Structure 1
Amino acid sequence: MTTEGFRVLEEKSLIEYIKSTPSLASKLGNEVENLKIKEVGDGNLNFVYIVISPSGSLVIKQAIPYVRCIGESWPMTKERSYFEATALKRQHGLSPKHVPEVYHFDRTMSVIGMRYIEPPHIILRKGLIAGVEYPLLAEHMSEFMANTLFYTSLLYLTTTQHKSAVAEFCANVELCRLTEQVVFSDPYKVAEFNRWTTPYLDSDAEAVWNDKVLKLEVAELKSKFCERTQALIHGDLHTGSVMVTHESTQVIDPEFAFYGPMGFDVGAFIGNLFLAFFAQDGHAEQGNDRKAYKAWIIDTISDTWNLFYKKFTSLWDIHKEGPGEAYLHEIYNDVELWELVKQKYMIDLFHDSLGFAAAKMIRRIVGVAHVEDFESITDLEKRADCERRALDFAKNLMKERRSFNTITDVISTAL
């Protein structure tokens, strides 16, 4: 993608852009003279603007040609916005209650205009730090993952449909390579941008670099990430990519989307819930030891996997005579065989999810991009203690993931 016709939008030029774009202006009731605009892009890559008029609202997201949190020394393709817009549209179609609608996409300008997820929605990670319970979170996230993963897999699609979709998203190679680097490579070696809570975790970081068994396991997970085109995955499904209220859950920011292993999405979400769990002791204070909230997080982890299993296999049962070519009905129509097929598929997916959860946890402690769950703990010694327990759990989880048969077994090692 060339940069011809591209310019970075700031407030004044954004107003002119909206005025000249009917699909955006109409969402604002064509009242574009007194817009309220706020830049809220606190992520690593993009500029994000909330735009509000007296008659409507929307969000404008623009991809820029470098990693925002690093600077122009780390170039990054703007074409990622195409994959984000495409993934948003498809995921909204499959899970409309939990994915914002796209109003406009401009490939040249790398601009997406979409629904503004209004207050009191907040980023889930911030709610977890504040100790807020979201009673429908597991229900909603399991529904989002079951729908988006099942309906984009060979369990539902023909091989022709599937290969065509895989080919389209294969071009999102730069974002995939970024994930390969920061999740599966850099944390396991001395790397320029790695960081950790020093000096408290110096020996812990070095132990990761020297752990041969851990390196063998992460190599297998990296191969699956690079080679396995199971379904259209979000690709960055952490608690910073989810906005919530007590009644609503919205999944955003799928710019890392591609056809990859389902367990990468499931694992990313569960792994980030475990990070939130281990961070809670660092947020405890007099009168609130966070023990009840830790129990709620654990219940949410358990419910997320168990509900996902139930919803996913239910969709599979409903469509077992459908067009999906992975398991043709005329071959697998024996009741006993059908149950064995599902059990084998789901235990493999479970073990993949645990491995990817562990990888996502490790990179957030000794890699380049950390999480606010820990970073907001100002006492460095206390923060390091929380991080160490999370790191030890994650290392064990990656190495021993095949020995776990239920999410209850996993949770028991975290308590």
Structure 2
Amino acid sequence: MKHVEELTADKASLESYLKGQGWLQLNEKITALEIPGAGNMNFTIRVKTGERSFIVKQSREYVEKFPQVPAPSERALREAEFYQLVSNKSLLNEKMPKLIGVDKKNHVLNLEDLGHGVDYTFLYQKGEHIDEAELKQIMTFIANLHKAINTKTTDTRLPNRKMRKLNHEHIFIYPYLEDNGLNLDDVLPGLRAAGKPFKQDEALKKKVGKLGDRYLQDGNTLLHGDYFPGSWLKTNDGIKIIDPEFCFFGEVEFEIGVTLAHLKMADQPDKLVEKALRFYKDRSALNESLCKQFMAVEILRRILGLAQLPLSLDLEKRKELLNEAQSILIPE
């Protein structure tokens, strides 16, 4: 088993590592280290020197925020492969951080620093709405990705099976387990009782299982894989897209279904959710029925599963969304 050097925020040891990689000049000193955002998955740090700043990102064999949760240690390398695939597509790479370097042995990326941006998770707060022009940019980027990189345009494939397996468990399995280690009443009093009928709905679970099988199948199109407000960054240079570590070649309906689900859980107006779908469909083909089914699955998993969001929705609104999701998956 190969030895992996775990990076820390210790300035001296990090400086030594970066010089060993050739990512710092011999006479270049770290002047400051900062946490660039509220990420969960990886060790991520902003490195500042007298001349510049950049982002160092390492994936471990566990989730950084929850060390008890195992995760594929090579996921940063899959993210690197994504950046390499989009590197010659100007409409895509101008919206993403540039990949400066990769340390394959230690699963470390050296990425362009996009500055002190803020992600769009503020949308989950009560009364926050996304600007229509910004939403159009977000949906245009993902449509451009799907049109530009697919099995017709590249021989490269990016299965990312280990990350897909992890995601599959969290999306399609854990939310429906009676005892999955999460007391939903700790999230919101009354949510446990509200969720019980959905965990016991055998027809619903069967339908979710079939969609899970589709998710695990290889598809024709490169997906970002986790296209939600936490992956959209508002910066001084406009909107940027980050964290494609769940990327794989799959079905576009999964990608857009996830996006629409988060707009709904962020309590965005129905007309904005409809516009998001239209912005995408104006540029790229989509099976709307399948998309809505994946949207329903994402709503169920985020409200009932382990990957909770900072939602401001009250219990009645969450129940309303759960019932809507159920009616999409099991129409009367």
TM-score over 0.5 for the pair: yes
- Report what 1:244 is aligned to: 234
Matched, 1:203 2:193: yes
| Partner SS state of residue 24, structure 2 | helix
Work out the CA distance in 1 between the residues paired with 2:28 and 2:112.
17
| Partner SS state of residue 66, structure 1 | coil
Matched, 1:180 2:168: yes
- Report what 2:55 is aligned to: 59
- Report what 2:86 is aligned to: 91
1:265-414 counterparts in 2 under 5 A? 265-277=255-267, 294-295=268-269, 298-312=270-284, 346=286, 349-372=287-310, 374=311, 377=312, 383-400=314-331
Work out the CA distance in 2 between the residues paired with 1:224 and 1:54.
50
Partner residue of 2:32 out of 36, 43, 48: 36
The Cα shift of 1:246 comes to 8.5
1:251-284 Cα deviation digits (max 9, x unpaired): 111111111211111111111111101xxxxxxx
The Cα shift of 1:306 comes to 0.9
Q: Which amino acid aligns with 2:325?
A: A
The Cα shift of 1:181 comes to 0.6
> In proportion to residue count, which structure has more helix?
1
Q: Which amino acid aligns with 2:207?
A: E
- Report what 1:14 is aligned to: 14
The Cα shift of 1:128 comes to 5.0
**For the aligned residues, what is the CA RMSD?**
2.5
Matched, 1:151 2:82: no
Work out the CA distance in 2 between the residues paired with 1:20 and 1:203.
55
The Cα shift of 1:132 comes to 5.5
Cα distance change, pair 100–4 in 1 and its aligned pair in 2 (3 A): same
Cα distance change, pair 134–118 in 1 and its aligned pair in 2 (3 A): farther
The Cα shift of 1:113 comes to 1.0
Work out the CA distance in 1 between the residues paired with 2:123 and 2:24.
32
Work out the CA distance in 1 between the residues paired with 2:101 and 2:137.
26
| Partner SS state of residue 77, structure 1 | coil
| Partner SS state of residue 243, structure 1 | strand
Specify every segment of 5 or more residues in structure 2 that has no aligned partner in the other structure, as ranges: none
| Partner SS state of residue 358, structure 1 | helix
Q: Which amino acid aligns with 2:6?
A: R
Matched, 1:116 2:113: yes
TM-score, normalising length: structure 1? 0.72
2:123–2:266 Cα contact (<8 Å) kept: no
- Report what 2:212 is aligned to: 222
1:391-414 Cα deviation digits (max 9, x unpaired): 2222223334xx9xxxxxxxxxxx
The Cα shift of 1:212 comes to 2.4
**Number of residues paired by the alignment?**
326
2:228–2:258 Cα contact (<8 Å) kept: yes
The Cα shift of 1:20 comes to 3.3
1:84–1:253 Cα contact (<8 Å) kept: yes
- Report what 1:261 is aligned to: 251
Specify every segment of 5 or more residues in structure 1 that has no aligned partner in the other structure, as ranges: 278-293, 314-345, 404-415
Work out the CA distance in 1 between the residues paired with 2:88 and 2:224.
14
Cα distance change, pair 240–197 in 1 and its aligned pair in 2 (3 A): farther
| Partner SS state of residue 70, structure 1 | coil
Q: Which amino acid aligns with 2:308?
A: H
| Partner SS state of residue 240, structure 1 | helix
Matched, 1:192 2:180: yes
Question: Once the two structures are aligned, what percentage of the paired residues are identical?
Answer: 20
1:230-265 Cα deviation digits (max 9, x unpaired): 211111112111112587221111111111211111
Larger Rg: 1
Cα distance change, pair 259–36 in 1 and its aligned pair in 2 (3 A): same
1:100–1:115 Cα contact (<8 Å) kept: yes
